[in-house]
């Protein structure tokens, strides 16, 4: 079983919000910068890697019941985005890794996306 804290260690990520979720199990993972793709293609409980940092990303994640978001490339995140995540105790991580490499590291642990088996 892979927990949020394992992903945090793997990507050397900062935990910006949702500290209480560190021991939850990560079951599937995705990556997208498009709101509509997150809305359409994710499954509840997923962790999504993104380069998208507007507050909307949190709203989108909450509407789709994601477990958490990982912002890549060490991007600056608007304080409103972090505040919004904290208000909702939503898991928000940030890694310096780029999207491709970060996805690769997670994929190597055996975790798959919402298209697994298709």
**Which positions lie near other proteins, rule CB under 8 A?**
33-37, 39-40, 44, 52, 54-57, 59-60, 62-65
Q: What b/e readout covers 49-78, taking b as 16+ CB neighbours within 10 angstroms?
A: bbebbebebbebbeebebbbbbbbeeeebe
CB of 23 to other proteins, least distance (A): 21
CB of 10 to other proteins, least distance (A): 25
CB of 51 to other proteins, least distance (A): 9
| Closest to other proteins by CB, 62 or 83 | 62
| Closest to other proteins by CB, 3 or 59 | 59
**Rounded Cα gap, residues 58 and 35, in angstroms:** 10
| Closest to other proteins by CB, 5 or 73 | 73
Q: Which of 59, 68, 66, 7 minimizes the C-alpha distance to 41?
A: 66
Query: Residues 4, 22: contact at Cβ < 8 Å?
Result: yes
């Amino acid at each position: 079983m892979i927990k949020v804290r394992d992903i945090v260690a793997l990507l050397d990520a900062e935990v910006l919000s949702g500290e209480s979720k560190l021991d939850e199990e990560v079951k599937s993972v995705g990556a997208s910068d498009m709101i509509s793709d997150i809305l359409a293609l994710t499954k509840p409980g997923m962790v999504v890697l993104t380069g998208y940092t507007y507050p909307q990303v949190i709203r989108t994640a909450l509407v789709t019941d994601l477990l958490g978001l990982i912002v890549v490339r060490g991007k600056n995140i608007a304080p409103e985005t972090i505040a919004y995540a904290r208000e909702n105790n939503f898991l928000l991580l940030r890694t310096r890794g780029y999207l491709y490499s970060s996805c690769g590291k997670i994929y190597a642990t055996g975790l798959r996306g919402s298209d697994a088996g298709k």
